[in-house]
Chain A
């Protein structure tokens, strides 16, 4: 009955063919991806493939290029060389809108908690009639129901980061990038945040998380990518990485030595 290129609700994305919306975003493949400043390669990746599955955690010392790699994958910065393919296709607006990111310092709009979630839903073309219910669900998920009307930036650090996470999840992303989101949180807040990340993972969202916290990597990772000086030194299943890291740098990092 329908043409192969049907369109969802007008409100559900502006003229985006449904077949594009349904095509898998993974595997995410980057070949010869580099980002350089003044001829100095800050990120230099020969080959990286991220498949559907449990969380991928990117580990490494300060300045290893972890956050830059995440920004390159998410399309926030343009690579100097190479490109990132999603399901075999270069990223376009449709593909970008199926990803979300939470930053180390949450960037909350100067509006109420509920309005922050509403903004993301609206940006993704969710109809007004649906938004109210979705906001309530998402705030309940983040444990923020009783703070709905509070100015977002008056929340505690942990609450702010949970709000940033549920706002990212509001868009029902296929891939969720997390850039050291718990770096400045206390243990209780980290636990609550990690529980939400696990829920997202169980719901089928591919989680790609940068952290310097080995404990957090042990708790969450299904797969570990270890970066050092802009390069991927190791990529292996979490158990393998923690039991028998292959490179010297990773061995020192896992042992808790200071890597410079």
Chain B
């Protein structure tokens, strides 16, 4: 118990003193996950919108598939990306294994289905309301996509935050493809896993506290967005 209390004090000390190693890990985590969410948004939002407004054979199958991919086990994604990027894999020539880029790729695979599925739900609802009016204004189905994405912006920002929450908290995939290399690919979650097993609870606790703070901030943002949207009747 004494150990735990000491570790806790040490953790607070680490955070408050601006410990270089701690903040380097936090910044790398943010860089990897924010980049992953950005890339996933660029792929997932148009994909989700097309699934909502498009009419093509196999649409229902793709929707079921995307929904199923939302629950992908991170370790399996890590394994697949590892196989693709390893020296004997099809993308081995790029030499990306054990780099932050590999971690970004793994998180993109994890987050894209979440953003695509949530976008589809949002856009489908909005389209049901807007379709006749946009048609009346002479806008084609395909041209209505940017309008629907913009008018669904508040709900879509919530989808992005959900994706970010998944990415930043994820450990299984990034530890496989990143390798948890000190100063190179060590992020908050992998550091917590490693330091806990080594008995170095202070750093693990400090990072855990920061992760929880980020989770709270994400949820506060979702709530704030919701309130703002409702006040302007943009929800």
Contacts and interface: CB of A to CB of B under 8 A. Distances in A.
Interface of A: 71, 74-76, 93, 96-97, 99-101, 103, 107, 109-111, 119-120, 123-124, 151-154, 168, 171
A111 B126 CA distance: 14
A101 B152 CA distance: 23
The SS class assigned to the B binding surface is helix
B158 to A, nearest CB: 14
Contacts of B139: 123
Interface string B122-158: 0000000110110111110000000100011100000
B232 A76 contact: no
The SS class assigned to the A binding surface is mixed
B151 A110 contact: yes
Interface string B98-134: 0000000000000000000000000000000110110
A99 B135 CA distance: 11
A101 to B, nearest CB: 5
11 contacts: A76-B135, A99-B136, A101-B132, A103-B132, A107-B129, A109-B147, A110-B152, A120-B137, A124-B138, A171-B137, A171-B138
A154 B234 CA distance: 9
A154 B233 contact: yes
B200 to A, nearest CB: 50
Contacts of A124: 137-138
B137 A151 contact: no
Contact of A153 (B137, B152, B234): B234
Interface residues of B, number: 16
Given A76-B132, A103-B132, A103-B133, A110 B234 contact: yes
A152 B234 CA distance: 9
B121 to A, nearest CB: 16
B150 to A, nearest CB: 8
A123 B137 contact: yes
Contacts of B233: 110, 151-154
A98 to B, nearest CB: 9
A7 B67 CA distance: 48
Contacts of B138: 93, 96-97, 123-124, 171
Interface string B223-235: 0000000001110
Contacts of A71: 132
Contacts of A109: 130, 147, 151
Contacts of B136: 74, 76, 99-101, 168
A223 to B, nearest CB: 23
Contacts of A154: 232-233
B196 to A, nearest CB: 46
B232 A151 contact: yes
Contacts of B130: 107, 109
